Homo-oligomer: A and B are copies of this chain.
Amino acid sequence: MKLSVLKDELDKAIQHVSKAISNRTSIPILHGIKIDASASGLQLTASDTEISIQSFIAAEKGDVRSVELERPGSIVLPAKFFSEMVRKLPSEKVEIEVNDSFLANIRSGTIEVQLMGLDPEEFPLLPQIDANAVISVPSELLKSMIRKTVFAVSTNESTPVLTGVLWNVEDGKIRFTACDRHRLARAESNYDADADERFNNIVVSGKTLGELQKILPDQNTLVDIVVSDNQILFRQNSLLFYARLLEGTYPDVSKLIPQTFQTELVLETKLFTDAIDRAFLLSREEKTNIVRMAMREDMTVEISSSSSEIGRVTEQLTAREMVGERLKISFNSKYMLDALRVMDSESVHIGFTGPMQPIIIKPLGANDTLQLVLPYRTTH
């Protein structure tokens, strides 16, 4: 293998694939980035076996020649060191030459780096994904749906399927659901369906979606999503992101969501979020995060919490609307904050079916987001 590549392109590709490298693995080859050089360009791959990321540097893109190939080949280079060194090279171009014993010679200006590589044959193979189902989704939409649900996945590994986000894609509709038994988050959206692609009840790890969210670009481009037996692939331009699907059957959590309400409130999102945030400060001192909410006939809502060590906070909010029975209800302020912080609307609609029934939070006048928080059983 012998080639020269534009430093900025190489740096960008390294940063992308590095997200797949785990510090926890003890398998040396997984601390490396695989580089495959061919006439068409440079393919970089990294993997922690759960997630694999590939980034491709095309030899030519329009008028720009990013890679000059002299001799094709492959090598695995130590990711951390290779990444930091490339970022710190001063020249525009980097030359890489690999000999038969996997010793890489990297030159840039008067700088010469000799790097001991590993045999690319030992690098894990990427999953083969047949295009059973492909959908294309704008990256912004995908990121927003991840943001609105991923915080609610379970962190308890004893039920692995709940550590993921449930995907349902059908009839031009995508629905994400996350539930940790104490709260539920759901995001829905339409997308341009070309054919009757569908994949129902697949579960993608919350950690994986967190990484994907970081790597997807901020500008709005289309992301192709391909699902095969036990793998999902996200493809965005020259970037490929593979992840293993979680095994197991996701429980039917939709029955948790009440369809009618005894009490309905409309509150200004910012005022309510700030009030819960202040109550959270005290409630977290007790570890339980309990906050109390009491509705009054005069349309005010009292939010309060207390800590035996520190004291008590109480405040009044005026509801924009209040319909039905006035309730006193207690809940986990942290969960309520998480739910409120993904609301993009000016006001939120909150529905109750009794002091021991799930609380439903939605943006006012929209159905694309639904958050559910279970109340606490407390004595008021």
Interface residues on A, range: 20 to 34
Please report the C-alpha to C-alpha distance between residue A274 and residue B90 in the assembled complex, in whole angstroms.
9
Q: Are A111 and B278 in contact (CB under 8 A)?
A: yes
Report B-chain residues with C-beta under 8 Å of the C-beta of A115.
310-311
Among B78, B311, B315, the residue within 8 A (CB) of A116 is B311
| Known A-B contacts A78-B310, A309-B116; A315 and B277 likewise in contact (beta carbons under 8 Å) | no
Q: Are A315 and B112 in contact (CB under 8 A)?
A: yes
| Known A-B contacts A116-B309, A309-B116; A88 and B281 likewise in contact (beta carbons under 8 Å) | yes
Please report the C-alpha to C-alpha distance between residue A287 and residue B259 in the assembled complex, in whole angstroms.
63
Q: A114 on the interface (CB 8 Å rule)?
A: yes
Q: Which of A127-170 contact B (CB under 8 A)?
A: none
Counting every copy of the chain, the complex holds 2
Report B-chain residues with C-beta under 8 Å of the C-beta of A89.
278
Q: A113 on the interface (CB 8 Å rule)?
A: yes
Q: Are A281 and B116 in contact (CB under 8 A)?
A: no
A211 to chain B, nearest CB (A): 25
Q: Are B316 and A113 in contact (CB under 8 A)?
A: no
Report B-chain residues with C-beta under 8 Å of the C-beta of A315.
109-112
Q: Are B78 and A314 in contact (CB under 8 A)?
A: no
Q: Are B281 and A81 in contact (CB under 8 A)?
A: yes
**Nearest residue, chain B, Cβ from A278:** B88
Please report the C-alpha to C-alpha distance between residue A311 and residue B281 in the assembled complex, in whole angstroms.
51
Q: A84 on the interface (CB 8 Å rule)?
A: yes
Q: A58 on the interface (CB 8 Å rule)?
A: no
Report B-chain residues with C-beta under 8 Å of the C-beta of A81.
281-282, 285, 310
Give 1 or 0 for each of A193-236: 1 = CB within 8 Å of chain B CB. Answer: 00000000000000000000000000000000000000000000
Q: Are B311 and A84 in contact (CB under 8 A)?
A: no
A84 to chain B, nearest CB (A): 5
Q: A342 on the interface (CB 8 Å rule)?
A: no
A317 to chain B, nearest CB (A): 8
Give 1 or 0 for each of A85-119: 1 = CB within 8 Å of chain B CB. Answer: 10011100000000000011000011111111000
A195 to chain B, nearest CB (A): 50
28 residue pairs from A and B, CB less than 8 Å apart: A78-B310, A81-B281, A81-B282, A84-B281, A85-B278, A85-B313, A88-B274, A88-B277, A88-B278, A88-B281, A89-B278, A90-B274, A103-B311, A109-B315, A110-B315, A110-B316, A110-B317, A111-B275, A111-B278, A111-B313, A111-B314, A112-B314, A113-B311, A114-B312, A114-B313, A115-B311, A116-B309, A116-B310
> Could you tell me which A residues sit within 8 Å of B by CB distance?
78, 81, 84-85, 88-90, 103-104, 109-116, 274-275, 277-278, 281-282, 285, 309-317
Top 7 A-B residue pairs of the complex, sorted by shortest distance between their CB atoms: A111-B315, A110-B316, A115-B311, A114-B311, A114-B312, A113-B313, A112-B314
